[in-house]
Structure 1
Amino acid sequence: MNVVVDYGNTSAKVGIFKERRLVDKIVFDSAEKLRGFLENYSGDYIIVSSVSVDATVVMDWARHFKAKFILTPSLPLPVVNRYATPQTLGVDRIAAACGAYELFPNQHCLAIDAGTCITYEFLDAGGNYLGGGISPGLRMRFEAMHTFTARLPLIQPVDQPALIGTSTEQCMQSGVIYGLCDEIEGIILRYHEKFGDLKVILCGGDARFFENKLKAAIFAVPELVLSGLNSILIYNVNR
């Protein structure tokens, strides 16, 4: 079994793969719980990707594996990284791009990760990762309005906001949710205009929230980053 660890800003996701098939996913809300799991799990290979903690610390907990990999800018990838500053590229972003390549090889792909931030990752049909974009995510926008104003409250998103808000809360929900949907739709349209036909893959913690709100043709793959990490792991094991 392959074990992939995606340590994000708020939690750690662990995917367990049998070759290229995801057989189990576990979410840990604390480092202590993740440590307990890894110290007692015996698998073949493991890869760790982290944007919030030192990945070498997490790897020290993985005692019973044949081989271990940490996703860093120097780790070989199944795609060609054309990013101008690869040392600054978030590991979750390149993992999403590799996940898109795993699903749709030889096709233009736009991977959209709807998490703490919204990230856009473009991969051309030749397997070249070119970059993308970053913007504030759903909850970050609500928190920003509350933090940087004197009177706006901190509110939660709702599934079906009113278009015309009749209260401050409804107006904030309308502005954030419809504004973000139109942002995503607009960026997808720009990529279509520039590159023609492409596959659009939506992933991340808020993927389900946006899945039925977007008019563009998309593939919702919530575990795209885990699949991308597993493809990177397999690529390095077989080198």
Structure 2
Amino acid sequence: MRSAAIDIGNTGTKYGIFEGDALVKQGYFTGHDLPQELLNQTFEQAIIASVAESTQQIAARLSVKGSVLTLSAQTALPVSNKYKTPETLGADRIAAAVGAHYLFSDHNCLIFDAGTCITHDFIDKEGSYFGGGISPGLTMKFNALHTFTKRLPLVERTESDYPLAGQTTQESILSGVLAGTVGELNGFIQAYSEKAKDLTVILCGGDAGFFESKLKGRIFVIPELVLIGLHRILAHNV
């Protein structure tokens, strides 16, 4: 059975095409023009999640024999959601947690989604999702330092080594944003490791590659995690 999973984010839209349980194609687009891979075929089922805008326009353009499921706080989940305000929970966050539990069902999981914002989420091996945190992403931090001060320059992120102790204003910003955020994530890993044994740490999102080699312990980078979680939620509802 062919199905589609679509994740509408703050800066663009990811999509995955599944044959049964296998993710056979994935992609990314911006704007409202769907790629031909989605327009040129008919799906048995589809699921759409959004943190940014209505899903109706995309849903109306898909060719789906069955139903198009829009992920919401009322959608049945294959995990237990302990979040106090599920109606405010980002669809990408719960989908990532579902995907993590599906892939690592015998482990407690800490998920970092490093994109426009950096979120962390915790789900235990029993499948109970407990929430996590939201903080500004790397680009947002650089922009904020420039926008909300009078003299600090807008600094571009570097993929090379950055100084721990900056000796110029630019180096100091690089240290504060990059080294500071790495320290932030490593601090969360340490704190959750003390509370939960068998902790598996998973990275996804556009900046996952930057953090992969800088975090402590064994890290799994799974860019398609949210799509996998969406597909599992879809399967739970059909």
Q: Tell me, yes or no, if structure 1 residue 97 matches structure 2 residue 60.
A: no
Query: Which residue is equivalent to 2:178?
Result: 177
In the alignment, structure 2 segments of 5+ residues that lack a partner are none
Residue 195 of structure 1 aligns with an amino acid whose one-letter code is A
Secondary structure class of the residue paired with 1:205: coil
Counterpart amino acid of 1:176? V
CA distance in 2, matches of 1:169, 1:143: 13
Alignment of 1:189-228 (within 5 A): 189-228=190-229
Give 3-state SS (helix, strand or coil) of 1:109's partner.
strand
State the percentage of identical aligned residues: 47
Provide, for residues 22-61 of structure 1, a one-character-per-residue CA deviation record: whole Å limited to 9, x for no partner.
1111111111x22766444311211000111101232111
- Given that residues 46 and 65 in structure 1 are in contact (C-alpha distance below 8 angstroms), is that contact kept between their aligned partners in structure 2? no
Q: How many aligned positions are there? A: 236
Unaligned runs of 5+ in 1: none
The alpha-carbon deviation at position 18 of structure 1 amounts to 1.5
Which whole-Å CA distance do the structure 2 matches of 1:225 and 1:133 have between them? 17
Shift of 1:171: 1.2
Are residues 1:157 and 2:157 paired? yes
Q: Deviations over 1:73-113 (max 9, x none)?
A: 11111101111111111101100100101111132111111
Q: Hey, what does 1:167 align to over in structure 2?
A: 168
1:111-126 paired onto structure 2 within 5 Å: 111-126=111-126
Write the mapping of 1:140-151 to structure 2, written as runs, cut at 5 A: 140-151=140-151
SS of the equivalent of 1:66 reads coil
Q: Provide the rounded CA distance (Å) in 2 between the counterparts of 1:56 and 1:82.
A: 28
Q: Distance in 2 between matches of 1:131 and 1:42?
A: 35
Matched, 1:8 2:9: yes
SS at match of 1:132: strand
Task: Name the amino acid aligned to 1:202.
Answer: L
